[in-house]
Amino acid sequence: MLTHSVGTGKAPRNSTPPMDIGDKFGTILGRAGLVTTEFLYGKEEEIYGEDEPAEFVYQIVRGAVRTYKLLSDGRRQIGAFHLPGDVFGLETTPNHRLTAEAIVDTTVRLVKRSSLEHAAATDVEVAHRLWSMTAGDLQRAENHMLLLGRKTALERVAAFLLEMDHRLSVAAMMALPMCRRDIGDYLGLTLETVSRALSELHERGILDFSGARQIVLRNRQSLHTMNA
């Protein structure tokens, strides 16, 4: 069914001392002397489900992850895309509040939640960094509520492009890991509307394609302007 050749998911690949990817989370791990384990998830593989016990916290090493909620009839809202360096699955309640799935073959580092909590209970600096990470997630969620509640389709897609440009552009080119449907479910649109908006921006000379998921931004200023 799935085309990934990378094994069956939850088998650990190896254990490592926490190598710093250059981020706040790495700093936490280092401070607390925590051991992380690397796992590999295949394309489309579920990492955890909504309401499952939150036993681990994850950081992406390579790949991309979507976290989402579903309505009973299948409507889906993606809350966030997680890219290398991003942390997800960090909770203060017993269970995960969204489902997490690998979008492409993805390597994650994971830490036992209990060990993080232990570190936070002993070290106020760790506690503060964890709080800050959750506050950062909240800030993105607040910005996204504004987008979902009040922006037009073109404004949403412009905002998405700027976000992805910022987060994954290499050499002026961004290689999107996710399909049009995922983008739509993130922006509260259908995949057709996303496609039309991208075509529109292409026609206006604001971006170029080299393959549907390889995008070069030609005019960031106009994207910023239409982001309102």
Partner DNA sequence: CGTCCATTTGAGGTGGATCAACCCTAGTGG
Partner DNA sequence: CCACTAGGGTTGATCCACCTCAAATGGACG
Q: Which residues bind a second copy (CB under 8 A)?
A: 69, 71-73, 75-77, 79, 91-93, 97-98, 120-124, 127-128, 130-132, 134-139, 141-146, 148-151, 185, 187-188, 228
Among 97, 128, 143, 209, binds DNA (CB under 7 A): 209
The DSSP secondary-structure symbol of 171 reads T
Cα–Cα distance for residue pair 13/227, rounded to 1 Å: 42
CA distances from 118 to 20, 32, 112, 137 (A): 20, 9, 10, 22
Cα–Cα distance for residue pair 14/109, rounded to 1 Å: 10
> Can you count the helices (H) and strands (E) in the chain?
7, 13
Shortest distance in whole angstroms from residue 155 CB to a second copy: 9
CA angle centred on 193, ends 105 and 212, rounded to 5°: 45
- Residue 208 interacting with DNA (CB under 7 A): no
- Residue 195 interacting with DNA (CB under 7 A): yes
User: Could you tell me which stretch among 63-71, 102-110, 137-145, 195-203 binds DNA (CB under 7 A)?
Assistant: 195-203
Cα–Cα distance for residue pair 158/150, rounded to 1 Å: 14
Residue 137 contact partner, candidates DNA, a second copy, none, CB within 5 to 8 A by sort of partner? a second copy
Nearer to DNA, 90 or 159 (CB): 159
Site size for DNA (CB under 7 A): 22
- H-helix or E-strand containing 78? strand 76-82
Residue 11 contact partner, candidates a second copy, DNA, none, CB within 5 to 8 A by sort of partner? none
Residues numbered 132 to 191 that lie near DNA (CB under 7 A) are 152-154, 179-181, 188-191
Three-state secondary structure call for residue 165: helix
Binding site for DNA (CB under 7 A): 3, 152-154, 179-181, 188-196, 198-199, 209, 211-213
